[in-house]
Structure 1
Amino acid sequence: MSVVHHRHATVAGREIFYREAGPADAPVIVLLHGFPTSSFMFRNLIPELADRYRVIAPDFLGFGYSDAPPVEEFDYTFDALADHTAGLLTHLGVSRYAIYVQDYGAPVGWRLALRDPAAITAIVTQNGNGYDAGFVPSGWEPVWAYQREQNPETAAALREFLSFEATRHQYLAGVPDPSVVSPDTWHHDYALLSRPGNDAVQLKLFLDYASNPKLYPKLHDYLRASGVPVLAVWGDGDPFFGPDGARAFAEDAVDPEIHLFEGGHFLLESALPEVTELMRDFLARRS
């Protein structure tokens, strides 16, 4: 079992927390987490990859154990999250790497790839959306309403996403056997979501999410032009990103490998062995 190190680095004056494991000279894979979690979602995956790879899993600014400055002091956008992630990788001397993207990790990963296409050796997307077809309207309507108009009513609807029950729902929805999902997951995430001022941070990011679909045409051009290997592993019961989002990668990626599982938004909680096996095989052959 590989040792996982828990570290901090200063990037643009902010402390970024990250988990790291594996040989320093091994090929690198960067794990980019989603909402409402952090690198904690990769706690079980990291040791499964670290015998062969240098694995780096950062917490985005405002998430997990990274700094979470108030919105009055920092403009939370996906560009800013990508800036700090890129800064961390530069600090660590990483210039070539594969990415695993999930939920919010996808728009961060897409920005990294578009800024430096030659840096990316492979993409693993686990419910990490890159197509309009992937959005489940019932899950996104409160976000879209807030993007159209910011008022007390639309903000209140989004704050419901930050509740204990909503956090629990994100882990259990679509999972065939909820008993395999540890309650540590939603309790951990909810505790961090509940920090004073964090609701304003999340509202800023919900608002800025409107910038992400605008990048999709550039992402699709990049997939076609680069031929970067793509593995899509998707929980088909995700209430936010449906299986059409996985299938859509076949429109632009070169020979993508697409696998749908009976599962939810956080597929690693219920299908870790299956995802690990697919990743190891895919990266060995195509990265």
Structure 2
Amino acid sequence: MNQISHRTVEIQGHSVFYREAGDSNKPTLLLLHGFPSSSAMFRNLIPALADDYHVIAPDHLGFGQSAMPSVGEFDYSFDALTTITLELLDTLGVDRFAIYIQDYGAPIGLRIASRQPERITAIITQSGNAYLEGFTPFWEVLFAHANDRVTHEPQVRELLELDATKWQYTHGVPADRLALVSPDAWTLDQAYLDRPGNKEIQLELFFDYKNNLDGYPAFQKYFAQYRPPTLIAWGSHDEIFGADGARAYLRDLPDAELHLLDAGHFALETHGPEIAALIRDFLGRVLS
């Protein structure tokens, strides 16, 4: 088994934490986590890939073990998190890389890809939305909050509590796979959310999420123009980013490889070995 190194580096005066494994001379795979998780969501995937790939998984600022400056000290937006990620890659000397995008990782990773397409060798998306078709009724309160923060903030704050965090991990998971979902996952995520000041950070990102939709045309133009090799491994029962969002990729990427898994939003928890096998087969062909 490949051991994971746990490192930090200063970016814009803030400590950014990342997990790293594998030989840096081999092709790099950047893993970008979603809400409300951290690079811990890749704890099993990293060693499964690191014999053949150089794997890097950062914690976004405000998440996991990365610094958590207050909302008065840092402008929490997806543009700002993208800039931090790019500066991390440049600091580490990573020029070209494949990206694995999940949830919040998608608008960050796809900003990078559409702005610097020459750096991207492949895309793996797992509930990493880039199309309006992917939005489910789950988002109604979030988009209402984006238009009227005061009225809808009490309801949105409920998404930052334990029941909602656990729901993200367990909803849509087949009964015979529920035992594979570690309670450590939602317990750890909630512990990070419950840190003083963190929920205010998450509210800022909830508010900013609507601005990601303005970037979708650029993401889709990038897909159509550059045709990056793309693997779609998506939970078919995901009620945050629905399966229609996975299918929509094929409109601009007809050669993309689509796999709808019998899983929910955090498909790695229940289908980690299957996803790792798909990635190894996919990258083994497209990067050879």
Secondary structure, aligned partner of 2:149: coil
Residue aligning to 1:7: 7
Greater displacement, 126-135 / 245-254: 245-254
Using the alignment, how far apart are the partners of 1:74 and 1:93 within structure 2? 25
Letter in 2 for 1:202: Q
Using the alignment, how far apart are the partners of 1:254 and 1:237 within structure 2? 23
Deviations 1:55-110 (A, max 9, x none): 00000000000001000111100001100010110010001000000000000001
Residue aligning to 2:230: 230
> Does residue 162 of structure 2 align to residue 164 of structure 1?
yes
**How far did residue 24 of structure 1 move?**
1.5
Secondary structure, aligned partner of 1:212: helix
**How far did residue 158 of structure 1 move?**
1.0
> Does residue 242 of structure 2 align to residue 242 of structure 1?
yes
Letter in 2 for 1:142: V
Residue aligning to 2:50: 50
**Contact preservation (8 Å) 1:28, 1:97:** yes
Q: TM-score, normalised by structure 2?
A: 0.98
The runs of 4+ residues in structure 1 deviating greater than 3 Å are none
Residue aligning to 2:84: 84
Residue aligning to 1:144: 143
**How far did residue 12 of structure 1 move?**
1.0
> Does residue 184 of structure 2 align to residue 184 of structure 1?
yes
Letter in 2 for 1:147: A
Secondary structure, aligned partner of 1:41: helix
* 1:1-287 matches, cutoff 5 A: 1-137=1-137, 139-151=138-150, 153-176=151-174, 177-287=177-287
Letter in 2 for 1:172: T
**How far did residue 43 of structure 1 move?**
0.3
**How far did residue 254 of structure 1 move?**
4.4
Secondary structure, aligned partner of 2:40: helix
Aligned length: 285
Using the alignment, how far apart are the partners of 2:158 and 2:11 within structure 1? 32
Unaligned runs of 5+ in 1: none
How much is the aligned-residue C-alpha RMSD, in angstroms? Answer: 0.7
Letter in 1 for 2:215: L
Using the alignment, how far apart are the partners of 2:239 and 2:36 within structure 1? 14
**Contact preservation (8 Å) 1:228, 1:254:** no
Letter in 2 for 1:127: S
**How far did residue 239 of structure 1 move?**
1.6
Letter in 2 for 1:275: I
Secondary structure, aligned partner of 2:99: strand
**Contact preservation (8 Å) 1:77, 1:204:** yes
Q: TM-score, normalised by structure 1?
A: 0.98
Deviations 1:81-140 (A, max 9, x none): 100010110010001000000000000001111221100000000000000000112x10
Deviations 1:201-253 (A, max 9, x none): 00100010011111111111101111101110000111210000100010001
**Contact preservation (8 Å) 1:63, 1:192:** yes
Using the alignment, how far apart are the partners of 2:149 and 2:246 within structure 1? 31
Secondary structure, aligned partner of 2:65: coil
Using the alignment, how far apart are the partners of 1:100 and 1:12 within structure 2? 24
Using the alignment, how far apart are the partners of 1:271 and 1:189 within structure 2? 20
Secondary structure, aligned partner of 1:255: coil
Using the alignment, how far apart are the partners of 1:276 and 1:216 within structure 2? 27
Using the alignment, how far apart are the partners of 1:24 and 1:144 within structure 2? 41
Task: Give percent identity, aligned residues only.
Answer: 52
Letter in 2 for 1:243: A
Secondary structure, aligned partner of 1:91: helix
Using the alignment, how far apart are the partners of 1:104 and 1:78 within structure 2? 8
